[in-house]
Amino acid sequence: MAASQIIAKLPKLSYFRLPPSSEPAFLPLPQPGSLAYNPPFQISDSLYAAALDIRVPLTIAAVYAVTAKLLNKYNKSTNRRPWAISQTKAFFAFVVAHNIFLAVYSAWTWIGMVNMLRRTLANPFANTGDPSTSGWAATVDSICRMSGAPGLGNGLVYHEASGIWLTQSSPVSPEFALTPDRNQPGRMWNEGLAFYGWLFYLSKFYEVLDTFIILAKGKYSSTLQTYHHAGAMMCMWAGMRYMSAPIWMFVFMNSFIHTLMYSYFTFTAFSVRVPTKVKRSLTSAQITQFLVGASVAMSHSFIGYTVPATQAPGHDSDIVASPNSAANSTSPLAGRAAPTPLKAISCIATSSETFAIWLNVLYLAPLTYLFVKFFVTSYLARSSAESTRSAVGKGKEGVDGTIESKTRKSPAASPNAPASLVASIATTEEEVRRRLSNVGNLAEKAGWDAAIGLEKEVYGVSAEAIDTDDSHDSPVAPAQSNSHKSKTKHSK
C-alpha cells in the first residue's frame, strides 16, 4: 500500500465563524487508576469545568486592565514615587519568592510536557511494517488528534454537521458514533495536556502580579504589557476549552521561556552578574516565541495528511483513517468496512479549534508588528548615522587624494599602469565586502534594538534586568536608555 503523506490543505470556510460552535465539550481529567497519565493530584470535574467558563477569564482580564490603568494614573499623580511597601524587606522577600515560585512551577510544567511528548509523539522513523500507517504523517496525526487510540488514523474527530464523534476510518453515520474516553491512553489530552494545560491557564491569572510589582515601584505599566497578560489568559482559555491542537506548543514553549526568565529575575534580585551571552540568549528566546508561535499555530489550519481509508457500503465520508481502526472499533458494523485508497484529511476539523488558533494569531500580530516597526526604525537610524560617518571619511580621503595627486608625477606612473589597475580592482572588491559587512552588522544591531524595545514594552519588569552591552547605543527611543538606568537604580 502507498505511504501516507503530509499535504497542504486549505481549511473549510465554514470553520471561520463567530461565535464558534460550543460543541464538542472538553474532556475532563483521566480518572485515578486509568491507563492514561495519572496527575500527581486530583482536580474535581466541577472545578475543572468552572474554571473554563468564559466569564472567568473575561472578568479577571477586565478587572486587571482597569486596575492597571487606574494605578498608572495614581503613579502619575505622585510623580512616580515608589509605594512605601516597595521599600520594605517583606516586599523584597515577596518578589524573590514570586520569581522562585514561577521559575520552579514553569520548570515542573515544562518537564511534564516533555514527558507527555515522549509518551505520545509518534516516531516518524519507526518501522510499523506498513508505510500507510507510519512516517511523518503519523507524527502529524499524533499532534493533530487530541483524543482517541494512538496510531495513524485512530484518533477521534468531531463532525460538526452531524454532532457526533467518529474515528477517521468511519463513515459519517450515527451508527458509527463513538464517545471519547477520558481514560484512553496514547494521545496528548489524556496523557498530560489536560492537566498541565489547565494549571498553566490558571497561572496566567497569577502572572499579573508582575504588573503590580512594577506599579508598586512607582513605575508605569505599558498598555502593551496589559494587552500581553490579558491576551494570554484568553488564548489559553480558548485552547483548553476547545481542545485545540496548537495549545500544546503554547504551554511547552512558554513554560520553558518562563523557567529561564524567572530564574534570571531571581539571580538579578541578589545582584548576581549574568554573562551578556546569557542575556542575549534569553532575549532571543522571548522574541522567538512571539514570532514563531503565530506561524506554527497558523500552519495547523493549512496542514493535512493522508490515511488509509475504509468505507462501508452505502456510506460516503470525508473523514477517513486506517482500516485497522474500523476493525478495532467497538461498533458492531465495523467488520463490514472495506479498505479504499488513501484519502486526505485536515489537521483541524472544527470551527472551535479554528477560533482558538486564529485568536492566538491575532493576539500575536500586534507584537510582531511592533518588532518589525522597532527594527525598521532602528535600521534606518543606524544606516543614516553610518552614511554620515562614511561621508565624513570620504571627504577626508578626497582632500588627502587631491594633495597626493598634485605631488605625483604622471610620466613616472605610466609604466606601473597594470599594477595600478590590479590595485584598484582589489580596493573596489574590498569596498564591496566592507559595505555588505556593514549591512549585515546594521541588520544585526537593529534586530537587537527591536528585540530589546519589544521586550521592555511587553514584560516591563525585564526592562530593569535584561539588556545587552550595546543597548545604550540604540537609536530606538533614546530617552528610554536614561529611564532604564534610573529604573535599575530604583529597583536595587
Q: How confident is the model at residue 463 (pLDDT cuts 50, 70, 90)?
A: very low
Instruction: Report how far residue 360's alpha carbon sits from residue 294's, in angstroms, rounded to the nearest whole number.
Output: 7
Half-sphere exposure of 64 (CA within 13 A, CB side): 28
Which cell goes with 434?
566592507
- Residue 16, pLDDT above cutoff 60: yes
pLDDT of residue 127: 76
Q: How far apart are CA 95 and CA 99, in angstroms?
A: 6
In whole angstroms, how far apart are CA 157 and each of 72, 145, 329? 47, 7, 14
Tell me the average pLDDT across 173-186: 82
Average pLDDT of the segment spanning 111-138: 85
pLDDT, one tens digit per residue, over 328-339 is 334 444 444 444
pLDDT grade, residue 190 (50/70/90)?
A: very high
How many residues belong to the chain? 492
Task: Indicate the domain borders of the chain.
Answer: 31-369, 371-394+427-491
CB atoms within 10 A of CB 368: 17
Give yes or no for residue 467 having a pLDDT over 50: no
- Give the model's pLDDT for residue 71: 96
Amino acid identity, residue 436?
L
Question: Which residue did the predictor score with more confidence, 487 or 217?
Answer: 217
Q: Is the pLDDT of residue 470 over 50?
A: no
Q: What is the average pLDDT across 320-334?
A: 39
402-461 confidence digits (pLDDT tens): 555 555 544 444 556 666 766 676 677 666 666 555 555 555 565 656 566 656 666 564
The band of 38, judged by pLDDT with boundaries at 50, 70 and 90, is: confident
| Residue among 131, 121, 156 at smallest CA distance from 319 | 156
Give phi and psi for 12, each to the nearest 5.
Answer: -70, 140
pLDDT (average), residues 83-111: 96
pLDDT of residue 430: 65
Q: Residue 198 and residue 251: Cα distance in Å, rounded?
A: 10
Asked if pLDDT for residue 274 goes beyond 70, the answer is yes
Whole-number CA gyration radius for the chain: 29
Would you call 312 helix, strand, or coil by DSSP? coil
Q: What are the CA-CA distances from residue 481 to residues 38, 311, 360, 441, 486 (Å)?
A: 50, 66, 32, 21, 9
> What's the predicted TM-score (pTM) here?
0.76
Q: Using CA atoms, how far apart are residues 362 and 14, in angstroms rounded to an integer?
A: 19
Contact 468, 275 (CB under 8 A): no
Beta-bridge partners for 303:
8
Q: Which residue has the higher pLDDT, 124 or 61?
A: 61
Residue 412 has which C-alpha cell?
Answer: 613616472
Pick 256 or 337 by higher pLDDT.
256
Among 183-197, 259-273, 440-454, the range scoring the smallest mean pLDDT is 440-454
Closest by CA position to 466, among listed 452, 448, 480: 452
Confidence band, pLDDT 50/70/90 cuts, at residue 88: very high
Cell numbers for 383, please give them: 544606516
- Residues 146, 182 contacting (CB under 8 angstroms): no
Q: Report which of residues 297 and 425 the model is more confident about.
A: 297
pLDDT band at 215 (very low <50, low <70, confident <90, very high): very high
Q: Distance between CA 346 and CA 300 in Å, rounded?
A: 9
Is residue 136's pLDDT more than 50? Answer: yes
- All three cell numbers of 5: 503523506
Q: What count of other Cβ atoms lies within 10 Å of the Cβ of residue 417?
A: 9
pLDDT band at 245 (very low <50, low <70, confident <90, very high): very high
CA angle 308, 346, 244 (to 5 degrees): 125
H or E segment at 408?
A: none
Using DSSP, state whether 107 is helix, strand or coil. Answer: helix
Query: Distance between CA 140 and CA 57 in Å, rounded?
Result: 31
